[in-house]
Structure 1
């Protein structure tokens, strides 16, 4: 049987990533296959291999893209010079991203810890670096408690990720995010 589907696509890489993210949300990472994605976007089964030689390469690219999008969302939240306002906005932006993209976030953190995932780790440095800089700025201004900034940043991240997990597992509804961020702010921000 001859495959008469086109080999080329306007922007094959982007189309594959979009289709993969939809599949990730609907079926999970274990069910993603390059051949199925090719069929879905209407190209030959060999076409995806030009951009993603393996399924893992596709998953890593999806994770890299997710970290880049998270970094953009956090940067866009930094529209104030007031550190507590910036902290609140970044916390809210992280939780919103993690709840609106739950399957992607799970893939991002799973991929980050795979052997050889250098590019995924580099992509993760953007949003984590931004959050760490915010913690250090808050400590320098006396807005956040002193101590090891990496440890404080890790506890802050764990809090945000935990809130997202609670929302994603339907223990708390998304309408509670703002109130949960307020409670987290009370735990981290000192009166100055």
Structure 2
């Protein structure tokens, strides 16, 4: 494919798509704007018109990652049925994304903490927690969970699910399938949240 093959705006999408492939398979350290340009058979100047440097590309890649993750989580939460099942679906979606794209997820979180992180990235990176808070608040309103600060419940839930994701991607589950580890963790978290608050 030559540079002339790209219509206006398509090159940016093509660069992002190729960057996703590289980071997904090799990690962010392997990413190079010059190599991406060579891969797509365009000039470095053409790619630089869309991304001024590697950090700008990583920022856009993290935005794309959070957008895809947030969509997967929203789809899980928006399913019909008891709130326990919806929480389970969200947990599966999160850990599944981490297992399929461990290097992408690492890049998403490291890039959001970069001093030059864009407002779009910061905003998208904070979407999931309020949605989880809303899920627990709705579960309390429906009588599936006892009253307690939903923000606290969401923090505990995220810590547990992210912990499973980290163990899975770092190959620390001692052969236990990530699906089983996620199911056991989510069941334990929900059981704890469903117990009457102490005191």
Instruction: Classify the TM-score, shorter chain.
Output: 0.7 to 0.9
Q: In the alignment, which residue of structure 2 is the partner of 1:94?
A: 94
Larger mean Cα displacement after TM superposition, 14-23 or 172-181? 172-181
SS of structure 1 residue aligned to 2:80: coil
Contact conserved, 1:68 with 1:126, CA < 8 A, in 2?
Answer: no
1:126-154 CA deviation, whole Å, 9 max, x = no partner? 33332221122223334345433222212
Q: In the alignment, which residue of structure 1 is the partner of 2:155?
A: 154
- Unpaired runs of 5+ residues, structure 2, are none
Q: CA deviation at 1:188?
A: 2.4
Q: In the alignment, which residue of structure 2 is the partner of 1:128?
A: 129
SS of structure 2 residue aligned to 1:104: helix
Contact conserved, 1:70 with 1:94, CA < 8 A, in 2?
Answer: yes
Q: CA deviation at 1:7?
A: 6.1
CA distance in 2, matches of 1:48, 1:7: 13
* Structure 1 residues 185 and 142: alpha-carbon distance in aligned structure 2, compared to 1, 3 A threshold: farther
1:68 maps onto 2:67 in alignment: yes
- Unpaired runs of 5+ residues, structure 1, are none
Contact conserved, 1:17 with 1:58, CA < 8 A, in 2?
Answer: yes
1:43 maps onto 2:42 in alignment: yes
1:50-65 counterparts in 2 under 5 A?
A: 50-65=49-64
Runs (4 or more) in structure 1 with deviation over 4 Å come to none
Q: CA deviation at 1:98?
A: 1.2
TM-score where L is the length of structure 2 = 0.84
CA distance in 2, matches of 1:21, 1:148: 38
Aligned residues: 188
* Structure 1 residues 146 and 115: alpha-carbon distance in aligned structure 2, compared to 1, 3 A threshold: farther
Q: In the alignment, which residue of structure 2 is the partner of 1:105?
A: 105
* Structure 1 residues 43 and 91: alpha-carbon distance in aligned structure 2, compared to 1, 3 A threshold: same
1:110-136 CA deviation, whole Å, 9 max, x = no partner? 111122422211112333332221122
Q: Over the residues paired in the alignment, what is the CA RMSD in angstroms?
A: 2.2
Q: In the alignment, which residue of structure 1 is the partner of 2:172?
A: 171
Contact conserved, 1:92 with 1:178, CA < 8 A, in 2?
Answer: no
Q: In the alignment, which residue of structure 1 is the partner of 2:13?
A: 14
Q: CA deviation at 1:72?
A: 1.0
